[in-house]
Amino acid sequence: MTKPYASGGAYLNRMTQHCKGCFYDPKKRVGDDACLFTTLYWDFLDRHKETFAKNHRMAQQINGLKRLSDLPELKLRAQEVLSGLDQGTI
């Protein structure tokens, strides 16, 4: 495999029917109504960017991190989401 496969909420919304009627907005990364998949996708890329930077097929996604002005808030939201998943509240 040359390209890891992960996706955010916008892709899931576009390619599946699972998002219909969902409270969360797949276009948002932060906030109470931000899509959990979108938040965790960008957090995952940020946490593993050094590893992914070695793969030329991931360059566009890693470069996308540079445009995220809300990255600090996103990282906090990701911790809230992961904690909520661990506790069974999400």
pLDDT per residue over 28-66, tens digit each?
Answer: 999 999 999 999 999 999 999 999 888 888 888 899 999
- The residue ranges of every structural domain in the chain are 9-87
Residues 6+ apart with CB under 8 A from 52: 4, 45, 58, 61, 62
Rounded Cα–Cα distance for residues 81 and 90 (Å): 7
Q: What share of the chain is helix, strand, coil (3-state, %, to 5)?
A: 60, 0, 40
Q: What architecture is the 9-87 domain classified under in CATH?
A: Orthogonal Bundle (1.10)
**H or E stretch covering 38:** helix 36-47
Residues 58-82: what's their mean pLDDT? 94
Is residue 18 over pLDDT 90? no
pLDDT number for residue 74: 97
Find tokens 């600090």 and name the residue. Answer: 72
What does pLDDT average to over the chain? 90
In the DSSP assignment, the letter for residue 55 is: S
